[in-house]
Structure 1
Amino acid sequence: MKSVYRVLAYLIALEVVIQAAAIAFAVAGLGTWIQQGGVLDAASMESETTEFTGVAGFMIHGLNGQIIVPLLALALLIVSFFARIPGGVLWAGIVLVTVVVQALLGIFSHGAPVLGLVHGALALALFAVAAIAARRSEAALGAPVHAPAPPAGVA
């Protein structure tokens, strides 16, 4: 179970990277499309036929953020009860709360764009807490955590 905990925590951190890449791809593609004469208005946003390079990035970002990452975070919390990692339940709980807040910020930022600033910053915090959870599981597994080497001549 410790290994499952570690894998789930690292997957959540990886998902943050995928989220950032997907939304950057989408926004860059949208910007290029507009520069080439595309018009973004309410009709084109609601249209199922608006196509440009990167449009899939919006879908990936939404699907991952509202379904995949929350499911991974919930699975991490459930596994944490069986993994017997010191502080594992706490860190899994922090990950889950961060994911819930992150998803809500993503949803509500459509009505209050300033929340997008917090959404982007909190993504970095989610990456950090997921990585910390994973690293704590490595210590519980007895895996090397890459501690600094002792100075030369010290036994």
Structure 2
Amino acid sequence: MKLVYRILAWAVAVEVAVQAAAIVGALFGLTTWVTEDGGVLDKAERESHSTPYPEAIGFPIHALNGEILIPLIALALLIVSFFARIPGGLKWAAVVFGLVILQVLLGVYGHHVPGVAALHGPNALLLFVTAIATARRARASSAAEPAHA
């Protein structure tokens, strides 16, 4: 179970990196499409469900990954933490899960509440670092465990 715990914690960190890559790619593509190709992003374009430039695929990847995949991984980490017998493992899994929930809420409400979106990036960094620290704590716990004969 400790290995599963570690893998899930690393998976959260990797998925946060995927999130950053997807949204940055989409935004860089958008900038090029608007400034160099004369594209116009308005309500009609957003509702057309077309892909005006290849990097636009980053927007739905960011949304689905952030609203479904990462929360499921974090929930699995929390559940596994009950069985992994890692000192402090439940606490750190709960912190990761809480940061994921906060991240989803910041992403959803960042579109509607001024100032909230500015917290989405810093929370992502905090989640990334916390997930890595959680995985590393699990590894340290496994290394400190005496070998069974």
Classify the TM-score, shorter chain: over 0.9
Structure 2 unaligned spans of 5+: 145-149
| Aligned mates of 1:12, 1:78 — CA distance in 2 | 14
- Residue of structure 2 equivalent to 1:27: 27
- Residue of structure 1 equivalent to 2:111: 110
Q: Quick one: percent identity of the two aligned structures?
A: 54
* 3-state SS of paired residue (1:83): coil
| Aligned mates of 1:17, 1:133 — CA distance in 2 | 16
CA separation of 1:135/1:93 partners in 2, compared to 1, >3 Å: closer, same or farther?
same
| Aligned mates of 2:46, 2:22 — CA distance in 1 | 18
Q: What letter matches 2:139 in structure 1? A: E
Instruction: Please say which structure displays the higher CA radius of gyration.
Output: 1
Answer with 2-11 or 44-53: which moved more: 44-53
| Aligned mates of 1:70, 1:106 — CA distance in 2 | 13
Query: Is 1:42–2:43 an aligned residue pair?
Result: yes
Using the size of structure 2 for normalisation, the TM-score is 0.93
- Residue of structure 1 equivalent to 2:79: 78
- Residue of structure 1 equivalent to 2:13: 13
| Aligned mates of 2:2, 2:79 — CA distance in 1 | 12
User: What count of residue pairs does the alignment treat as equivalent?
Assistant: 143
* Runs of at least 4 residues off by over 4 Å: none
2:26 and 2:56 in contact (8 A); partners too: yes
| Aligned mates of 1:77, 1:7 — CA distance in 2 | 12
User: What's the RMSD between the two structures over aligned residues?
Assistant: 1.1
- Residue of structure 2 equivalent to 1:130: 131
Structure 1 unaligned spans of 5+: 144-155
